[in-house]
């Protein structure tokens, strides 16, 4: 009996390692994606801008046609646009739907990008915001009309004959860590075309604005072991929400995911310390969270909320776990003088659980594929 019980616990432990390895990948993969996009995409933008400078003396530039540079000043985006929607293209660029015209040509141009990259802040765009598209010395300027949430495959808006428009498509919601079934569709209309280097006329924002302004997350306090996998049985990563006053630059940077990764490290260290009754646990924990976060945590789903104040300073990261329909637990970490520290949490049970989820997170997405 004891041998069977040890075997069952060992199997559950391995299952927990594997499943939460997925949660760790859910954080690490977007970080890698964003870094790759910054490096390779910036190099491609420089090539396209060099071409624009070489063409600046031409007298007749016409309308843009072919791969170019997309700029969205309101969100600080400077992105290369390449033909096609293959994953290899979207890994480093905004993709252009081949069956649609290029931006600035008559008809409705369609471009798509992942929400973990260039289009991560598209939900912040408002009517009247400008978007420019440049190929060589030709620049087309668009004005945002609005945005809406659609399911993949729904028809796009129509345009009067001879008019030019632009549609920007990304996954929705932009704060989903893994699964989405809806798309954010931003529509814009052509309001002007210019020749030469007209980028200043549309208030270009420097591409390094996407780097964010906050400090990187601190490590764990001295003596607290790090690098442990966050072992628990979550089968679905949920959303990452930003509360407070984060800037658009912060939203579009790698920093929100880096802070989430640091909070998961703190959770893994806490669970290891409580399992081993480790002496270093007091350096990590300022106030203990609910006991449900201990070594025997049940399966559930994980969401996160980061509170960001002026200057893009992260004040706290709150992990929110939902266990079935009748339990919600929170686990809160804050930066301290010696590193990241656990500062408590709450446990909501039975009829209070649904209200707790709604109050902290709002409606949660369901779906199939991360966009």
Residue 166 has pLDDT above 60, yes or no: yes
The answer to whether residue 3 sits within a structural domain is no
Report if residue 13 sits inside a domain: no
Check which CATH number belongs to the domain holding 46 and give it: 2.40.260.10
Last residue within a domain, chosen from 141, 174, 206: 206
pLDDT band at 243 (very low <50, low <70, confident <90, very high): confident
> Could you give the dihedral angle defined by the CA atoms of residues 217, 218, 219 and 221, in that order, rounded to the nearest 10 degrees?
-150
Structural domain boundaries enclosing 188: 35-206
Whether residue 6 is contained in a domain is answered as no
Per residue in 8-31, pLDDT (tens digit) is 443 333 333 333 444 444 444 455
93, 137: one domain: yes
Asked if the structure places residue 11 within a domain, the reply is no
- Whether 83 and 199 share a structural domain: yes
Q: Mark whether 74 and 217 lie in a shared domain.
A: no
- Which of 206, 217, 187 is CA-nearest to residue 304? 217
| Together in a domain, 41 and 162 | yes
**305: in domain:** yes
Total structural domains within the chain: 2
Instruction: Indicate if the pLDDT at residue 363 is higher than 60.
Output: no
Distance CA 26, CA 176 (A): 10
Whether residue 197 sits in one domain with residue 317: no
Same domain, 216 and 70: no
Q: Are residues 152 and 293 in the same domain?
A: no
**Contact by Cβ (8 Å): 271, 231:** yes
* For residues 188-200, average pLDDT: 59
In this predicted structure, which of 195-204, 212-221, 314-323, 346-355 has the lowest mean pLDDT?
195-204
**Together in a domain, 229 and 152:** no
- Pairing outcome for strands 130-135 and 313-323: unpaired
> Does residue 307 form part of some domain?
yes
Q: What percent of the chain has pLDDT over 70?
A: 66
**227 or 243, which is more confident:** 243
If asked whether residues 238 and 317 sit together in one domain, one would say: yes
Note whether 131 and 228 are same-domain residues. Answer: no
DSSP state letter for 176: B
Higher pLDDT, 323 or 304: 304
Of 206, 230, 253, which one is at a domain's C-terminal end? 206
Would you say residue 321 has pLDDT above 60?
Answer: yes
Asked whether residue 241 falls in the same domain as residue 357, the answer is yes
pLDDT at 237 (0 to 100):
60
Q: Is the pTM of this model over 0.75?
A: no
> What digits encode the pLDDT tens for the residues 96-115?
999 999 998 888 999 998 77
> Does residue 4 or residue 270 have the better pLDDT?
270
Tens of pLDDT, residue by residue over 45-78, are: 676 666 554 554 554 566 677 898 999 988 888 8
| 8 part of a folded domain | no
pLDDT at 61: 64
pLDDT at 198: 32
**pLDDT (0 to 100) of residue 366:** 38
Of 183, 206, 229, the last residue of a domain is 206
pLDDT of 352 > 50? The answer is yes
Please tell me whether residues 55 and 199 are part of one structural domain.
yes
145-173 average pLDDT score: 84
Angle value at C-alpha 274, between 236 and 327, nearest 5 degrees: 40
162: left (phi over 0), alpha (psi -120 to 50) or beta: left
Residue 16 lies inside a defined structural domain of this protein: no
Mean of the pLDDT values across residues 136-159?
85
Whether pLDDT at 88 is above 50: yes
Residue 205 pLDDT > 50: no
């Amino acid at each position: 009996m004891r041998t069977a019980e040890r075997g069952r616990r060992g199997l559950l432990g391995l299952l927990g390692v594997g499943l939460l390895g997925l949660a760790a990948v859910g954080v690490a993969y977007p970080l890698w994606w964003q870094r790759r996009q910054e490096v390779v995409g910036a190099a491609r933008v420089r090539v396209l801008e060099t071409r624009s400078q070489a063409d600046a003396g031409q007298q007749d530039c016409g309308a843009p046609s072919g791969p170019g540079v997309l700029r969205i000043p309101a969100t600080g985006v400077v992105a290369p646009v390449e033909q096609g929607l293959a994953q290899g293209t979207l890994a480093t660029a905004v993709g252009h739907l081949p069956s649609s015209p290029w931006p600035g040509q008559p008809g409705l141009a369609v471009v798509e990008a992942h929400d973990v990259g260039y289009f991560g802040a598209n939900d912040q765009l408002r009517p009247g915001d400008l978007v420019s598209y440049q190929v060589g010395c030709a620049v087309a300027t668009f004005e945002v009309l609005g945005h809406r949430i659609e399911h993949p495959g729904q028809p796009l808006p129509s345009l009067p004959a001879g008019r030019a428009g632009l549609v920007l498509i990304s996954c929705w919601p932009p704060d989903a860590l893994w699964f989405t079934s809806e798309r954010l569709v931003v529509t814009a209309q052509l309001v002007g075309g210019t020749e030469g280097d007209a980028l200043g006329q549309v208030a270009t924002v420097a591409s390094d604005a996407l780097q964010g302004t906050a400090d990187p997350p601190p490590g764990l306090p001295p003596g607290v072991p790090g690098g442990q996998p966050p072992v628990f049985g979550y089968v679905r990563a949920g959303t990452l929400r930003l509360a407070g006053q984060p800037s658009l630059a912060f939203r579009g940077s790698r920093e929100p995911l880096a802070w989430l990764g640091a909070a998961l490290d703190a959770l893994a260290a806490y669970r290891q310390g409580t399992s081993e009754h480790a002496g270093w646990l007091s350096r990590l924990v300022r106030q203990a969270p609910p006991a449900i976060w201990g070594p025997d945590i049940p399966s559930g789903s994980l969401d996160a909320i980061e509170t960001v104040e002026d200057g893009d300073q992260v004040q706290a990261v709150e992990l929110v776990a939902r266990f079935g329909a009748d339990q919600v637990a929170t686990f809160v970490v804050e930066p301290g003088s010696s590193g990241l520290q656990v500062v408590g949490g709450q446990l909501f049970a039975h009829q209070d659980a649904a209200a707790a989820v709604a109050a902290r997170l709002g409606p949660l997405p369901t779906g199939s594929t991360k966009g």
